[in-house]
Structure formats: C-alpha cells, structure tokens
C-alpha cells in the first residue's frame, strides 16, 4: 500500500473512531499502524487446539514496535468451511472433516492468513504458520525499546498498601510508577481483592496505566490455605486434591480457579505448587503440596495446569528446584536441600520436568540452597558470615540446570525478593543483579522499585549485565503475553461489561459444585473403631470442641446442620474441670485440631493434650485434622480420625457430611504419617471407607 494512501486511510480511521467515541489506546494509535498479523503466525507463539476449537487474535503492528489487539472492524474468513469455520472475533471451530483451510483476516488495508489442516485418519491437526520478517513482532518490539523499558518488563512489584492503607483502588502515585518504570507486571494480594466489582475495576485501572504492553497481573491463588481472593470460590488445596487421586478433579479445580481469575482480569496464577512434600516437618509447604510421591505430584500438577490453561490463565509451577524437603521457612531464613542430582531428578525435579514437557508458562524459583548443584558461597550482609547462594541467585541452578539440562524455554520468575532468605543476606539491589545474572526473567516484589530499577540500569551501563541478557528475558516475557493474549486492545470492553462478566463467573454455582465435589472426595478416613458413621437420635448429646482461632467453630456449625443440638466448646489447650464436666454426659465428642508446625503437634502441645484428655473421659472421640494430616501421631488412641487438609467452610462441611454418613469417604493419604519415634503409623495410600 503506498505511503500516502496508508496515511489517508489511517487518519480517516482515527477520525472515525473519535467520532464514534471509541477511545484510542496510546498516542494517535491508528495513524501509526504498519501491519496486521495473526498472533499464531508469530514464531514464538504456541496455542493448543482444544475440543476442535482454536482462538486467534489479530494484532496491529505500529511504527514504534508495539503491537495491540486490532479493533473490532475486522473481517475473518475461512477458505474451506467444510474443514473449519471462523467467527467474527477469530474463534475457529474445526468440523472434523479431512482437508485444509486458510483462515484469513483483513482490516481493509492489511491482511494475514494461517493454514489449518485436519488429518482424521491420523487424528492430527496441523497448523502451518506463514513465514517472513513481518512476523518477528517480538524482535521488532525489543529493537524499539529503551534499556529502561527492557528492565521494566522484568519487574513485578506488589502494591498491597500505600501510605498505610490497603490498595483497593488505583491512585495517581501507583499509576505513575507503572508508567515511569515501564512495569511488565504487578502481583495482587488479599488486601487488594475485596469484591468482584472492586477487583475488576482495580485490575482494569492497572492495565490502563500501562503504556505499550499489557501487564501481567499475577496472584497466588493456589486454593486451600493460600487463597488471595476475598471473593469467589475457595477451592480445596493441593493436598486435598492429592487425597482424591483424581486428575479430572484437579483439572476442574484448576479450570474454575483460572476462569474466576480471568473474569477479574487477573491473567497469571502463581500455582500450582509442585514441591514434593516428603518432609513432615516442612513449615512452609505442607498441605500446599499434592503429596510426597513425585509421580502423583506430577500427574495432578499437570492436570491442574491444563485446567488453568483451558481458562486462558497463565500457570506457574513453584518452587524450583523443590522446597518440599526443608525444615526452615524461606520467608525467614535460608534452608538447604542436601541431595545430589540423581536423587533430585527422581524426586524434587520430576514434577517440574513433567510440567516443562507439558508447556508450563513459567516456573518460580526457591530461596533454598542446593549445595550438590551449586556450592558457591557469598558473604551475608546481615552478619558478615559466609553463606551458600540460594537457587534464586544461582546461575548453575537457573541457567545450567533449568535451561540447559532440563530444556525449559518459558519464563523464570523469582520467589518474592523481599523474603528474609534474600533481602537480609544480599540486600535489594545486589540480589536483583545476582538474580538477573543467574537467569531470572521476572523479579517478583523487589524491595524498593526505584532503587532496584536504578541499580539494574547502572549494572547495564557499567557492563555488569549485558543488554543482550535483558533482551533474552524480555523475549520470554513478551512470548508469554502473546501466548495468553495479554495484549492491550485498541478497543477495550467497557468497564460495565467487565464487571458484569466477573459477577457472573466469580463464585458461580458451577464452581461451588466443583468446590463441594473436591472437598468431599478429599476427606480421608484414617482410623475408625466402629464409631462412624454416627447413628444418633435428636436427644443424644454431641460436643464439638476446638479453638475458634483455628476455625473449629466452622466444624461445629457444619455438625449442627446434621444435629442442631450439638454443643460447641471453644478450647485449644488443656481443659479445666468445668470444660471436662461439660463433655462427661456426651454420647460422642468431635475434636477439631489444627496444626501447621512440628511444635503444634508435639506431645505437650495444647491441642494434643486437650484431645488426649477427651479420650481419657471414655466418651467416644472422633478427631478431625483440619490442616496437616499428622495430628493423630499425638493422640493415637482416638476412636476415629478424619483428615480434610484445609480450613475452608467446604472442607468442614465435607467432614461433617462424612461423620454423619452423608458422604462415603474415598480419600487416600497423599503422605505417610509417622509416630514420634519415626516408625510408620499410617502409610501413603491408606484410607478407609464405609
């Protein structure tokens, strides 16, 4: 198209859009268009055909290197509708007939096409991309970026609070930081996500603040104990899914979580946890893991990832190379995994390799040392001692092991850089520089965005970090954004449309049904001395006892739905004479215990002493482990013991349903429960039914 004609056309388009009131994203956006490209033609972009459906996006490419979702004024066409049809918004549906078709798109000035072939006899769908320099969108974008813009794509801060107040609406100061430092993403927390309406508006405002490229809006919505949204469906966590042994359930849970995030505009989940929890003393992973068996973790992890991807949400496996066999919380200090590479490949690394092979978008690092992989030492800025370099800052782990040995091509994101294991020993700027040199693509929650950004600029200007190194990361970040359609649109949906969609999806009846199904399938009946299911009359006294601070009041409420006269005693320590007197005439006692640490389940810990006191009354005691499954090791003489792996209402209701025979328990232990002397009390895969 001649330059003069192109200029006249795009000027007219800009004028027409202004007349219709449709906003233009970016400065005089329409007048800078140079091309129209189908995103799947970009060499780095991959996309699955799911249920014979494939989504394509049309991207306008601009003179300054940016690319944006093209406006609605497009014409999509299939050259052979017997093979596949295409909707007006680029959604392709294959018919199942053999043959080849070209899917094309045009804006009246530019056009592009892609070939799709269905080979029914091989049950194979072949996509042939167009080739040529016009499809190097990512390289072209990087070529036009300043060094500061490249650094910005690698930064992902949090804005939980601002001047002491929770950030629930955008303010000018944060919007300016997004612009001034060209941020590539932000992470949200529970402080930021109160309601569906409010969260949708906040996320939309973040995207409005970004200048050229869509922001990665991330969150730790694992399910279970790590659930950041205050709104929506509280899915059971990974160990609950491990107990179900069901890939189908894990996929459904992942898809529901992904759909709710997607509806809110949150496009990246920091889940699933793929740590193999083979250390019962682990203070930070525990029920966040699918279990102690690498194959189980890998299988259910990939199912969960598939669900997230089906919902259009980016998935992140964590914490590489494995945080499961540790006994120190990396939020506080450095922990070590002492195993050699052969053991790591069989256990810790196995689920991550499975996720890489299945196309995981991103992997998060662990602030844990692995001396058999990297024995490099550094001097701690905290106390001047010599310390080992953790995986997050290790070139041998991130580049040598993950990139070269395991073949990972996606995005490497650090765990939070403000955690004690990093910030105290290395300092914010030095840690950021070390992480980039090690091979990290995104620095999560750097301490002091201005100081870290300027520190990285200085490192590039002095040659300590090459600009080529930045560009490798930016290419991976932009690839992720294109793969998950995280691209600014020329014509955005209205805020009202976004909010209406979020209201419909978040906390929907369908998702609540999945939550209930997962919770009920997870309940594991570990011990039952002919007590369960309970058979009671309305006159029978049932006492539920446990600390409200541990959410055991929710167990009482769930029990009262079956037995309205059940009495709740709020206690989490040794019982006094008055409390013991209250339970003497009970027909059954239901004791809820909740522990998250070794100390919590020690023989002399308050909840453990309390439960043993109840057993000594002679009244049959049913204990419910509300979080970690190991509690029974300190009250082995209990009459019955169930595990629910989490403290959300759905799990308490599922436990109560099981106690009263409304749910037949099918869960199997995803971990081994040991006695205090180290012998096995209940093995992996143990679980009773009715």
Catalytic site residues?
331, 415
Nearest residue to 391 via CA among 369, 408, 413: 369
CB 436 within 8 A of CB 465: yes
Distance CA 119, CA 121 (A): 6
Interstrand relation of 84-86 and 91-94 (parallel, antiparallel or unpaired): antiparallel
Name, in order, each residue with C-beta under 8 angstroms of 406's C-beta and a sequence gap of 6 or more.
349, 352, 353, 356
| CA separation, residue 210 to residues 155, 156, 175, 325, 572 (Å) | 13, 13, 8, 40, 49
Token pair listed for 462: 């002095």
Nearest residue to 13 via CA among 108, 141, 114, 125: 108
Angle at which helix 467-483 crosses helix 428-438, to 10 degrees, equals: 80
Distance CA 684, CA 674 (A): 10
Provide the residue count of the chain.
690
Distance CA 221, CA 214 (A): 21
Place of tokens 């997607």: 262
The 3-state secondary structure of 288-330 reads HCCCCCHHHHHHHHHHHHHHHHHCCCEEEEEEECCCCCCCCCC
| CA separation, residue 419 to residues 267, 326, 422, 449, 457 (Å) | 24, 16, 6, 15, 23
C-alpha 311 chain-centroid distance? 13
Q: How many other β-carbons are positioned within 10 Å of the β-carbon of residue 612?
A: 18
Token pair listed for 353: 């390799």
Token pair listed for 672: 């081994």
Distance CA 54, CA 95 (A): 12
Token pair listed for 109: 């000035």
Q: How many CA atoms lie within 13 A of 239 on its CB side?
A: 34
Phi-psi region of 645 (alpha: psi -120 to 50; beta: other; left: phi over 0): left
| CA separation, residue 190 to residues 166, 215, 229, 288 (Å) | 9, 19, 6, 17
Interstrand relation of 368-369 and 443-444 (parallel, antiparallel or unpaired): unpaired
What are the residue ranges of helices labelled H in 145-171? 147-153
Distance CA 152, CA 142 (A): 12
Backbone angles phi, psi at 185, to 5 degrees: -170, 170
Interstrand relation of 588-593 and 621-625 (parallel, antiparallel or unpaired): parallel
Nearest residue to 230 via CA among 260, 272, 206, 265: 260
Token pair listed for 558: 């769930």
Distance CA 15, CA 28 (A): 10
The 3-state secondary structure of 259-285 reads HHHHHHCCCEECCCECCCCCCCCCCCC
Distance CA 687, CA 246 (A): 15
């Amino acid at each position: 198209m001649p330059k003069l004609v192109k200029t006249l056309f795009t000027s007219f388009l800009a004028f027409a859009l202004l007349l219709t009131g449709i906003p233009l994203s970016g400065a005089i956006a329409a007048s800078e268009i140079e091309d129209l490209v189908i995103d799947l033609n970009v060499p780095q972009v991959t996309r699955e055909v799911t249920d014979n459906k494939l989504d394509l996006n049309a991207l306008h490419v601009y003179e300054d290197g940016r690319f944006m979702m093209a406006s609605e004024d497009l014409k999509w066409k299939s050259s052979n509708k017997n093979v596949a049809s295409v909707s007006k918004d680029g959604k392709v549906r294959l018919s199942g007939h053999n043959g080849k078709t070209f899917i094309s798109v045009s804006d009246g000035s530019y056009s592009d096409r892609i070939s799709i072939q269905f080979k029914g006899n091989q049950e194979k769908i072949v996509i042939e991309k167009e080739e040529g320099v016009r499809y190097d969108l990512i390289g072209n974008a990087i070529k036009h970026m300043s060094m500061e813009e490249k650094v910005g794509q690698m930064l992902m801060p949090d804005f939980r609070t601002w001047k002491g107040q929770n950030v629930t609406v955008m303010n000018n100061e944060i919007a300016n930081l997004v612009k001034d430092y060209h941020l590539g993403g932000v992470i949200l927390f529970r402080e930021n996500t109160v309601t569906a309406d409010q969260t949708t508006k906040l996320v939309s405002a973040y995207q409005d603040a970004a200048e050229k490229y869509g922001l990665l809006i991330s969150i730790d919505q694992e399910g279970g104990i790590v659930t950041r949204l205050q709104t929506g469906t509280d899915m059971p966590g990974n160990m609950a899914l491990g107990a179900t042994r069901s890939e189908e359930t894990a996929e459904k849970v992942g898809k529901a979580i992904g759909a709710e995030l997607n509806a809110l505009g949150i496009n990246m989940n920091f889940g699933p946890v793929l740590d193999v929890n083979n250390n019962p003393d682990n203070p930070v992973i525990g029920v966040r893991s699918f279990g102690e068996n690498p194959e189980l973790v890998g299988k259910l992890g990939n199912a969960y990832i598939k669900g997230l991807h089906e919902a259009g949400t980016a998935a992140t496996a964590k914490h590489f190379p494995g945080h499961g066999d540790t006994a120190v919380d990396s939020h506080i200090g450095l922990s070590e995994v002492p195993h050699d590479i052969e053991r790591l490949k069989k256990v810790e690394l196995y689920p991550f390799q499975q996720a890489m092979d299945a196309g995981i978008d991103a992997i998060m690092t662990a602030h844990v040392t692995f001396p058999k992989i990297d024995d490099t030492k550094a001097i701690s800025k905290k106390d001047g001692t010599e310390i080992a370099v953790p995986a997050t800052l290790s070139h041998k782990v991130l580049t040598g092991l993950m990139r070269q040995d395991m073949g990972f091509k996606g995005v490497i994101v650090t765990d939070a850089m403000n955690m004690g294991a990093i910030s105290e020993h290395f300092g914010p700027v030095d840690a950021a520089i070390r992480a980039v040199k090690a091979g990290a693509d995104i620095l999560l929650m750097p301490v002091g965005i201005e100081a870290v950004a300027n520190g990285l600029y200085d490192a590039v200007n002095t040659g300590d970090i090459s600009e080529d190194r930045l560009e490798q990361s930016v290419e991976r970040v932009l690839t992720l954004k294109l793969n998950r359609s995280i691209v600014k649109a020329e014509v955005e949906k209205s805020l009202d449309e976004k909010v209406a969609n979020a209201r419909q999806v978040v906390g929907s009846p369908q998702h609540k049904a999945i939550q209930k199904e997962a919770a009920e399938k997870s309940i594991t009946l570990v011990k039952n001395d002919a007590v369960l299911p309970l058979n009671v009359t309305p006159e029978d006294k049932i006492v539920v006892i446990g600390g409200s601070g541990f959410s055991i009041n929710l167990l009482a409420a769930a029990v009262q739905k079956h037995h309205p006269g059940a009495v709740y005693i709020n206690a989490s320590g040794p019982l006094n004479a008055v409390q013991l007197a209250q339970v003497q005439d009970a027909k059954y006692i239901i004791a809820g215990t909740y522990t998250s640490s070794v100390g919590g389940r020690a023989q002399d810990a308050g909840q453990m002493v309390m439960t043993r006191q109840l057993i000594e009354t002679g009244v049959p005691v049913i204990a419910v482990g509300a979080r970690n499954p190991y509690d029974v090791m300190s009250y082995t003489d209990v009459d019955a013991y169930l595990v629910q792996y989490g403290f959300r209402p759905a799990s308490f209701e599922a436990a109560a349903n099981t106690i009263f025979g409304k749910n037949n328990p099918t869960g199997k232990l995803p971990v081994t429960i040991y006695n205090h002397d180290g012998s096995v009390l209940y093995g992996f895969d143990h679980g009773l039914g009715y």
